[in-house]
Structure 1
């Protein structure tokens, strides 16, 4: 009987750990890093003065950082850093990047990010927070329908305090549309419509340079002679 009880307790412990990482019913999702270690779930505000709710699911037991940037750089970015401390209490800090270049992000004079929940298990940290679409704070990013460059970072070290946050060990940037609605099947629905016509634009004989980060290429192409059409997806 003791053996059966032990097995049941073990199964309960495993299922509880898995349940901790199950996602709430968020409407939008994005994997920010190429290795799938930083997942972002969110629900947009229903109006311009409402709240966005974000959830970061990150393969770390230390701190996690998320930022909103105009160009993917840290300078002047709106940032939030969160972690679960040594006592198991979630912590959050509203910050911003330095005016120029990279460096330790100072705390905002007005803390506009609200902690909803935070937890971690043996592999992941999950932080849920919310903020207004427009906080009316010059140190915060106003979320619009434009493409937003999300900067992300994390470190396996747990901060002793908000003033003792070690430099990130992993970081990156991802372009995301935070406001526009996302469909469950996306392009599949569009392509399944028999009235949809697709056309591929193919550049010819283009050699990508190895010494440039971005290449702009101009080429004139002639469309097929169709009747009147509307472009519905690119």
Structure 2
């Protein structure tokens, strides 16, 4: 599978392509440290050393450890949202086509951006209240994409689940959980996992075979 980082080219299907993360050095250092040691277990001195900066040099770019966490998680969520929006824009007009596109985007993100997704999810607890509210708003925007598609599918008869809200959240939870166990060198290729999980996701919302 092609995993080139060409997400900004505007090419059809570019939302599927992943390459090395293009985070600035301080954010890359924060990502690695928070994934390994957690936010509370990481010091500013360690972050500066990982980024190849002095502590004052790091503070010049990010005034606190909290600022690093907020910048990192915001960048992660904007990347996910951008990919999901582009997947949706390229999808066909039917609820099942749109559903498949957003679910595939979620799956691929949580396969290829595992550490980013893990840190954003687990360290929400470490955010200060205002930052947490902003992060939750971005997360809710992603969830609404699936909620609205499933609700439309139920209204048009394309999906038959009696619990559209619960079903859409179950699908999201399943996709997010991929980040906790998937390995690129494991038995399933990305395309195989997408194919398998799309079947499970369709079943969850009661997608009609016809």
How high is the TM-score relative to the length of structure 2?
Answer: 0.25
Higher strand share: 1
Greater Rg over alpha carbons, structure: 1
* Structure with greater proportional helix content: 2
Identify which of structures 1 and 2 has the higher relative contact order when contacts are C-alpha pairs closer than 8 Å and 6+ apart.
Answer: 2
